[in-house]
Amino acid sequence: MIWNDHETMPREELRALQLERLQKLVARVYDKVPYYRGKMDKVGVKPKDIRTLEDIRLLPFTTKEDLRQNYPFGLFTVPMDEIVRLHASSGTTGKPTVVGYTKEDIKLWAGLMARSLSAAGVTSKDIIQNAYGYGLFTGGLGAHYGAEELGATVIPISGGQTKRQITIMRDFGSTVLLSTPSYAMNLAEVMIESGVDPADLPLRVGVFGAEPWSEGMRHDLEKRLRIKAIDIYGLSEIIGPGVAVECIEEQKGLHIFEDHFLPEIVDQNTFEPLPMGETGELVFTTLTKTAFPVIRYRTKDISRLSDTLCSCGRTMLRMPKVSGRTDDMLIIRGVNVFPSQIEQVLMSIEGVEPHYLIIVDRQGAMDTMEVQVEVSENIFSDEIKDMVSITKRIQADIKDLIGSTCKITMVEPKTIKRSEGKAQRVIDKRKI
């Protein structure tokens, strides 16, 4: 369901609105944030130079490194007494990045998240089990406020405690699950093990995000949990969840809420803007956020933009499921591979379980890749030749994808660690 009129705005009107907001934003950050002013002065751009939407290309990019240099509050545009909330990234790859919100920002975010849930077919009648982690991570609270804004009933269960999740899901009659896709898979598995048939539960929609997942994983989740699985996209540096979402009508590409976030796609290496439809790194400018606006933030997420009209009536551009992050991209003997592509190969083979681990190593000067796959009863045979033929098939399909032969190791069930939030799919021993 359409939540906000802006979602169906004619594109010319939308572009006019975007330009007006962009000009205001650039003027404001130039005035309020010395760091941005310094970067713009360095390339000789003034706010008045932004005359069309395309002029955004004159502005310098913002990267995670910029955020770190200004740790913790250097890029905020308002004094701390106007900040009502802080979130932060986990900081696994360095200093965490900190984001701040004013009261207005929180309201804006709740509205965008309500929009997202509404696009996923969720209404005020739904009982939402919010299994995104609550805390510094934006997922839990972001989804929570949106669900309340929508008027639905929220169960703020957070992540983990899988058996308890299932008991509550059954006893409270949850109709919607919000979680990472890998955690939803863990839930589905434990459900079957504990004798709960998903068909007996009123659960009907899952809104999954915060990590890349394949189309194959979507089909598997839909089948196992008997739900519609909707992809949602967001990142804390932009606002959190609620930047883009699929509509339940088509489930084909995520509508970007362009009235608040201006998307661009740039070449991964040259950072030159790419034409509509080409694949590259997603870049966002926040048009309306107050406390912590970002200009041309390089997300490191790989996708593309599509202006094909959608049957749901939304006029906003769509981006296909993010295939991966440039950070997660593996370069195996010079070929770029995303874990989600390996996942797609595995999920396209009947009976293969959605639990896998990619181990990359180097022997001499040669990269090696091993993919561990769990042996389920569906692919197990008492004959060696059948088992070997499955590993050969996986090997051949992956070779088609990356051009080199990897080792497939069949492992016993449950030996690959189950996700409680964001799944770890890759162990890269080359970095050690």
Partner 1 sequence: MQVEQIAIFLENRAGRLAEITSTLAENGINIRALSLADTADFGILRLIVNDIDKACQILKDHGFTVGKTEVLVVEVPDQPGGLAGALSAVNNAQLNIEYMYAFSQRSGESGLIIFRFDDQEAAAKVFQKAGMRILNGEEVYAI
Interacting residues toward partner 1 by CB under 8 A: 375-377, 380-385, 387-388, 409-415
Give buried/exposed letters for 367-397 (b at 16+ CB in 10 A, else e).
bbbebbbbbeeebeeeeeeeeeebbeebbee
Q: Cβ of residue 391: shortest distance to partner 1, in angstroms?
A: 8
Q: Enter the tokens of residue 428.
A: 């890269």
Quote the least distance from Cβ 52 to partner 1, whole Å.
60
Least separation in angstroms between residue 339's CB and partner 1 is 22
In the complex, minimum distance from the CB of residue 411 to partner 1, in angstroms, rounded to a whole number: 5
State the minimum distance, in angstroms, from the CB of residue 106 to partner 1: 45
Choice between 333 and 414, CB closer to partner 1 = 414
Cα(first)–Cα(last) distance of the chain, in Å? 49
The CA distance from 143 to 227, in Å, is 19
Cβ distance to partner 1 smaller for residue 375 or 394: 375
Contacts of 17 (CB under 8 A, 6+ apart): 6, 9, 259
Instruction: Specify the residue, 405 or 409, whose C-beta has the smaller distance to partner 1.
Output: 409
Nearer CB in complex with partner 1: 65/380: 380
Give the nearest distance from C-beta 194 to partner 1 in angstroms.
13
Which residue number, 200 or 412, has a Cβ lying nearer to partner 1?
Answer: 412
Q: Which is nearer to partner 1, 160 or 351 (CB)?
A: 351
Q: Residue 179 in 3-state DSSP?
A: strand
Residues 257, 344, 273, 291: what is their CA dihedral angle, to the nearest 10 degrees? 40
- Per-residue CA distances from 99 to 60, 80, 133, 348, 429 (Å): 20, 12, 17, 39, 32
Q: Least distance (Å) from partner 1 to the CB of residue 401?
A: 22
Q: What DSSP line would sit under 24-39, residue for residue?
A: HHHHHHHHH-HHHHHH
Q: How many helices (H) and strands (E) does the chain have?
A: 10, 20
Closer by beta carbon to partner 1, 248 or else 387: 387
Per-residue tokens: 1:
């369901």
**12 vs 412, beta carbon nearer partner 1:** 412
Q: Residue 377 contacts by C-beta under 8 Å, 6 or more apart in sequence?
A: none
Residue 394 CB, nearest distance to partner 1 (Å)? Answer: 13
C-alpha separations of 267 from 172, 286, 298 in Å: 47, 20, 11
What are the structure tokens assigned to 397, written together?
């399909």
Least distance in Å: CB of 400 to partner 1? 22
Q: Name which of 167 and 409 has its Cβ closer to partner 1.
A: 409
Coil, strand, or helix at residue 294?
A: coil
